[in-house]
Amino acid sequence: MVSTLTAFLITITASAIHSAWEMAVASLSKAEVKSACKNRIAGACALSKVMENKETYISTNTICNNIANIMGSGVVGTSAGQWLGSEYVGWVMGLLTFTIIVCSEIIPKAYGTNNPLLVGRTFAPMMVLLSWVLTPINWLISKLTDHFKGSEPSDLVERIYEGTYNLGLTTVEQVGTPRVNMSCVYAHESLNDIKKSLFESQHSRLVVLGKTRDDVKGIMLLGEAFKALAKDENPNVQELTREVLKVESNTNCEEMFKKFTESRTHLAVMIDRFGGTDGVVTLEDITELMTMTEIQDETDEQVCMREIG
């Protein structure tokens, strides 16, 4: 009796672990694992090694899962026959099959999908060891399946995966331009008075200030200012000022990206907890974070405004 129940529980548990881990690894991105590894979360570095050669470790997991199911079923059947008699073996195997489907497949896979990092890093060290033990078998399987493998994502796609994941972990303050480096004009100034600075500006949007940098009135589009100058008009900046989106400095970049797309604007002013101006963040800043690439045009100088600030 004891041997039958022990074999039954070991089979269910081993199969459940491998099923949950398989779904966890399939659900994880390299960016998420890399972030966990940088934060020195237990098991994350072993999991990072898994993500670099995912096919091999999934192969190891599949082998172990099948061993657990097939050998476990054989042991349970043999033990049940000795304990209850051969006429009850069918009932025991039926119960085992049903339990495996529910407790070792459906429930663990759902849990692994919903908690991929926890499950993945918990069992990654064990899978690294098992993969080393099964190296010859994995090598053979790799050779047999090489012709069926698809192409790997490009470096750009990998960077976009990582950058997109980092959106939720990064605040706008970390990617925006500090207040001391904002391109500004004052609301009371006329276009003729600031004509030279307008032509020298490398930005298409300028922050419009009242008396101080904490008194932001809005933004002025450089294109509209040039149109007015082309018509020999000389309005003051206030007449060309548009409303500007204002956000708290601790807003994460994922939320900021949604705000930009919903409001159809490309620039927002960052506000600190006291209501003062912290700087500006642009859609380009968010895009650069998403692609992990600095976007420059013909007029851009290779200068990091945040470092200067």
pTM for the predicted model, two decimal places? 0.60
The structure tokens listed for 65 are 């899962």
In the predicted structure, residue 157 carries a pLDDT above the cut 90: no
Query: 308 pLDDT band (50/70/90 cuts)?
Result: very low
Give 259-280 pLDDT, tens digit per residue: 999 988 889 999 988 889 999 9
pLDDT at 264 (0 to 100): 87
Mean pLDDT of 16-29: 88
The β-bridge partners of 218 are: 208
Confirm if 73 and 90 have CB atoms less than 8 A apart: no
Is residue 306 very low, low, confident or very high in pLDDT (cuts 50, 70, 90)?
A: very low
Q: How are beta strands 184-186 and 205-209 bridged, if at all?
A: parallel
Contact in structure between 293 and 304 (CB atoms under 8 Å): no
Q: According to the model, what pLDDT value does residue 110 have?
A: 92
What is the average pLDDT value for the chain, to the nearest integer? 83
* Confidence bin at 83 (pLDDT 50/70/90): low
- 79 by Cβ neighbours in 10 Å (0-12 / 13-18 / 19+) ranks as buried
Specify the pLDDT at position 294: 77
* Per-residue pLDDT at 305 exceeds 50: no
Lowest mean pLDDT among 220-229, 247-256, 294-303: 294-303
**How far does the chain reach from its first CA to its final CA, in angstroms?**
73
32-68 CB burial, b ≥16 within 10 A, e <16 = bbbbbbeeeeebbbbbbbbbeeeebbbbbbebbbeeb
Confidence at residue 150, expressed as pLDDT on a 0 to 100 scale:
61
Phi, psi of 85 (to 5 degrees): 105, 155
* 43 pLDDT more than 90: no
Q: Read off the pLDDT of residues 88-138 as tens digits, 9 standing for 90 and up.
A: 677 777 887 888 888 888 898 999 999 988 999 999 999 999 889 888 888
Ramachandran angles phi, psi of 209, nearest 5°: -110, 155
Could you report the per-residue pLDDT of 134-151, keeping only the tens digit for each?
A: 888 888 877 777 776 666
How many CA atoms lie within 13 Å of 277's alpha carbon, on the beta-carbon side?
26
In the structure, how many helices (H) and strands (E) does the chain have? 15, 8
| Sheet containing 184-186, strands listed edge to edge, beginning at the edge strand earlier in sequence | 184-186, 205-209, 216-221, 241-242
Q: What is the pLDDT of residue 271?
A: 92
Higher pLDDT, 230 or 304: 230
- The residue ranking higher by pLDDT, 79 or 277, is 277
Quote the percentage of the chain above a pLDDT of 70.
88
